[in-house]
Amino acid sequence: MTLDEQRRLMRSGAVYNDLTDELVQARERTVLTTDRYNASFGQPAEVRVAILGQLFARVGSRVHFEPTLRCEFGFHVTVGDDVYANFDCVLLDGGGITLGNRVLLGPRVGIYTTNHVLDPRERAAGACYAKPVVLGDDVWVGGGVTINQGVTIGDGAVIGSGSVVTRSVPPNVVAAGVPARVLRPITDADRTGYLDA
């Protein structure tokens, strides 16, 4: 099976073999590319964004990931404009990760689209499945958050630090906890007047 066929299988949500030579080699290439990106800290932004362009399917403008960035493949990641990820971001992107515009990720955020099957013999043989994760526009994810497969976080949502997101989160709410749950809506009362000064 070619790498393109395996990628289609991964994106379909079907069980696939994570240990094929093609996927092992793809992960190795990704490690080398992320190592180049992480080592490029301090170089001009255009150099760093060019490396991200080699790694991700799409990179918008004004995108910055603090070192260290780690991801599984990269080729299933799309990043919008004005995205900032603090240090130690981990992206397991077998099922596809979409980061909208103006997304802010705190330190040590992990987004995991890939999972192993439950049967121990199948798991040892490399059986995995993946489901996409989508973060809408204007999403803020606090430090130390884990986002699990199949989750969509709606536009304008805020996820509190240390949360584990196992279900989709609607737009314009604050959600937190383990597992994360909606705490309250974000309203005009949350405006600080910063932009009015």
Annotation marks residue 116 as catalytic: yes
Report the SS3 class of residue 28: helix
Count CB neighbours of 119 within 10 A. 10
The one catalytic residue among 27, 116, 131, 181: 116
Strand runs (DSSP E) across the chain, as ranges? 16-17, 58-59, 63-65, 69-71, 77-79, 83-85, 89-92, 97-99, 104-105, 110-112, 114-116, 127-130, 133-135, 140-141, 146-147, 152-153, 158-159, 164-165, 173-177, 180-185
By annotation, the residues acting in catalysis are 116
